[in-house]
Copies of this chain bind each other. A is one copy, B any other.
């Protein structure tokens, strides 16, 4: 019980005394300790004790909450550190494998392939997440937990001080109540005195009346008798009566004065009581409506919510930064997945193994023993035979081309079917994260998503069947293309030669063409240009330059100027390109 004895209240009631003193009411001696306080005072005092108990309890809960938060973040820091270490181990396991590979250059080359790029970014992401969870753990331990420790300290200190203030306010309130009690008792006492004085005065007035009534009667009784014989008796009687009346009058006056005095005292005491009542009610209202509220504010407002909020905001900031970092990594992976490209990988592979995929030199005519004829001879007697053969080839080719075009169409349609199967957008797993309110059916939901669908097995069987058909058609198409290529080459040469032989005779043509062989349309492309074209058609589409990705304007202008100065534009462009292409690798 935080309250001192009630008596000490009244004795130390200096403010009350000062007020009472200023209106000069003389309080009669009262032994307050002998007067029991009213029941409502005890009830109020019990309520005041409960109020402090309630605040005590809140403080305890607060301390407990802060302790829980510390324990929670300490344990979570461990979990995050554990997770981080496991991720680090996972990344290292595969990165070490990459590093241990002997052929570093080869690995370097492989890295430019788009699936390998995805894989590397996946490992990077794990490393990044590992690092971020270490940071998170560290922030928990070295920032958030110390904040909770501080909040706990501050909260305890503030509560202690607030409780002191509360106790002071309650003491003051009890003083006011006791003051009211005292003043009420005083009023009751003075009023009792006033009533008693009044009744005594009334008694005196009654006696006086009685005395006056008696002497009038006696005078009336004595009047019919002889006035002389009775006069001495009368005189004596009159004298006795007069002194008695005087005595009564004196008493009455005395009692009147006493009553007036007590009446004034009672009025003053009542006034004092009424004033104290007003002050008490105001104080009680103030305490319950303002003081209690302010008291709780002291426990709450002085930083508890704000500091707790800051600690939690630190947690949120850490989590959001982790999220952002993770998201950046996922963006990079997403970008790499977007760039998964079979065609550019093919180009890169061919660049990597350039010697393996580079076409051999063109086969040249090997003349026998100084044979000077390098061209088809279309003179008679072979001319008609060649003409016939050219016609046969032409009709054969047109049939073959139509047939092979059909095969190609079928093949391409089949390929499209396969590509439709393999590019089906079945990768959204949002459903798995839409939990029902109960958390029991998680497993089954996920399992359904990909593997358990009966359509998957059917789809895969279908895919393989389509694939098989595709390869059949592919082989058919490639065989047809092989034959067409050979026959077309022969046909074209025959047609060209026969066309020429109509203008010139065979020997002349053969002699002339042997000298201008390099400028002939069938042989028109110089070897260096042919090589450049090969290079460009293979690698050119992947490189920056004037071919696809626009290069620097300066370089383009240099090439233009070189062309305008009269150099062969084609060779120049090709050589420029080759040089930049090789530099690039």
Is A282 touching B486 in the complex (CB atoms < 8 A)? Answer: yes
Is B389 touching A22 in the complex (CB atoms < 8 A)? Answer: yes
Q: Report how far A442 CA is from B23 CA in the complex, Å.
A: 76
- Pick from B15, B325, B439: contact of A131, CB under 8 Å: B439
Residues of A132-187 at the interface with B, using a CB-CB cut-off of 8 Å, are 132, 134-135, 138-139, 142-143, 146-147, 150, 154, 157-158, 161, 165, 168-169, 172, 176, 180, 184, 187
With contacts A300-B345, A342-B300 taken as known, whether A366 is within 8 angstroms of B184 at the C-beta atoms is yes
Is B283 touching A482 in the complex (CB atoms < 8 A)? Answer: yes
Chain A window 413-437, contacts with chain B (Cβ cutoff 8 Å), 1 for yes, 0 for no: 0010011011111111110110100
- Pick from B310, B447, B485: contact of A138, CB under 8 Å: B447
Is A485 touching B282 in the complex (CB atoms < 8 A)? Answer: yes
Interface size of A as a range: 35 or more
Q: Report how far A288 CA is from B537 CA in the complex, Å.
A: 11
Let me know if A240 is at the binding interface, CB within 8 A: no
Q: Report how far A170 CA is from B363 CA in the complex, Å.
A: 17
Number of this chain's copies in the assembly equals 2
- Pick from B268, B308, B357, B419: contact of A382, CB under 8 Å: B268
Is A442 touching B309 in the complex (CB atoms < 8 A)? Answer: no
Q: Report how far A294 CA is from B362 CA in the complex, Å.
A: 21
- Min CB–CB distance A196 → chain B (angstroms): 10
Q: Report how far A114 CA is from B305 CA in the complex, Å.
A: 9
Is A360 touching B138 in the complex (CB atoms < 8 A)? Answer: no
Let me know if A386 is at the binding interface, CB within 8 A: yes
Let me know if A532 is at the binding interface, CB within 8 A: no
Is A467 touching B158 in the complex (CB atoms < 8 A)? Answer: yes
- Min CB–CB distance A146 → chain B (angstroms): 5
Chain A window 299-326, contacts with chain B (Cβ cutoff 8 Å), 1 for yes, 0 for no: 0111111111111111111111111111
Is B168 touching A284 in the complex (CB atoms < 8 A)? Answer: no
Is A427 touching B122 in the complex (CB atoms < 8 A)? Answer: no
- The segment out of A47-55, A216-224, A576-584 that lies at the interface is A47-55
With contacts A422-B303, A447-B138 taken as known, whether A360 is within 8 angstroms of B321 at the C-beta atoms is no
With contacts A270-B373, A493-B275 taken as known, whether A306 is within 8 angstroms of B382 at the C-beta atoms is no
A362 nearest in chain B by CB position: B281
Q: Report how far A326 CA is from B319 CA in the complex, Å.
A: 9
Is B82 touching A86 in the complex (CB atoms < 8 A)? Answer: yes
Is B19 touching A490 in the complex (CB atoms < 8 A)? Answer: yes
Let me know if A471 is at the binding interface, CB within 8 A: yes
Q: Report how far A15 CA is from B313 CA in the complex, Å.
A: 81
Let me know if A43 is at the binding interface, CB within 8 A: yes
Is B296 touching A316 in the complex (CB atoms < 8 A)? Answer: no
- The segment out of A71-79, A243-251, A561-569 that lies at the interface is A71-79
Let me know if A291 is at the binding interface, CB within 8 A: yes
Which residues in B have their C-beta under 8 angstroms from that of A353? 50, 54
Let me know if A545 is at the binding interface, CB within 8 A: no
Is A346 touching B138 in the complex (CB atoms < 8 A)? Answer: no
- The segment out of A28-36, A89-97, A203-211 that lies at the interface is A89-97
Which residues in B have their C-beta under 8 angstroms from that of A286? 481-482, 485
- Pick from B83, B139, B418: contact of A83, CB under 8 Å: B83
Let me know if A278 is at the binding interface, CB within 8 A: yes
Let me know if A68 is at the binding interface, CB within 8 A: yes
Is B385 touching A23 in the complex (CB atoms < 8 A)? Answer: yes
A133 nearest in chain B by CB position: B83
Chain A window 465-498, contacts with chain B (Cβ cutoff 8 Å), 1 for yes, 0 for no: 0010011001100110111011111101110000
- Pick from B15, B359, B433, B447: contact of A321, CB under 8 Å: B433
A16 nearest in chain B by CB position: B486
